[in-house]
Structure 1
């Protein structure tokens, strides 16, 4: 393993839309990040048991375990990762979700977002 590979920041991407997940993975890989892409919150929790991630990018609406529920579980089990989380969503946010986003301070990107916005949000949290 080269020095560069060891120093790559590792990102967990949780997205149930395969096309969006693959596109985000390609964008982040092109910026030098290592990305593990999983389609739901339960798989994300299994992934964090085995891997130390530097950042988590998660859709809010996910099957089984929502992005907000994932955040709450990370807060309990991996508090350092819960502080480095970005939400993405294509939904109109209801009052409860909007309130949660405002209170938690977690950055949220509205779909469709540009590659530049995704990369900027990731880099801002990793600095």
Structure 2
């Protein structure tokens, strides 16, 4: 008696769903709620998942609890200004330091200028337009990706 085949042979099938465009995570640190709202709205239209912090201390708690693809940081904030926040991140999550965009309305402040030169940071001067932010994001992410790829090959 011939045996019945209950199951068809397994055929491997693959489906090309293209590149998944998952949102990337961004942390925005600024104590100006209206400004943060505008930035958050813009970043969300660019497929970013936005987390916010009103101070460097609050930002550090978020950095310790989660990983981010980008950090946009105001230089002048209460309870830990941008430069001190950066230095704390440098000690705890150094990989994130290449993913910072700094911003300030204090153009010409020698302390801020010296800090940005020392860390090789990218600065946006407030007020800025959203296309300037988009160009800064692309620049920072390209640079960070190149550095990470270079580290992996060495």
Q: Same fold (TM over 0.5)?
A: yes
Q: Deviations over 1:68-121 (max 9, x none)?
A: 000000000000111110111011332121111112111000001000001111
Q: Any stretches of 5+ residues in structure 2 without a counterpart?
A: 1-19, 143-154
5 Å-filtered alignment, 1:84-103, equals 84-103=99-118
Aligned partner (choices 6, 30, 36) of residue 15 of structure 1 = 30
Larger Rg: 2
**Using CA pairs below 8 Å that are at least 6 residues apart, which structure has the higher relative contact order?**
1
Q: Any stretches of 5+ residues in structure 1 without a counterpart?
A: none
SS in 2 for 1:61: coil
- Measure, in 1, the Cα distance between the counterparts of 2:61 and 2:125: 26
- Measure, in 1, the Cα distance between the counterparts of 2:24 and 2:109: 33
5 Å-filtered alignment, 1:73-88, equals 73-88=88-103
Question: Which stretch shifts more, 60-69 or 90-99?
Answer: 90-99
How far residue 12 of structure 1 moved from its aligned partner, in angstroms, is 0.4
Pairs aligned (count) = 123
CA RMSD of aligned residues (A): 1.1
Q: Which runs of 4+ in 1 moved over 4 A?
A: none
- Measure, in 1, the Cα distance between the counterparts of 2:125 and 2:23: 26
* TM-score in terms of structure 2 length: 0.76
Q: Does 1:61 align with 2:83?
A: no
5 Å-filtered alignment, 1:95-114, equals 95-114=110-129
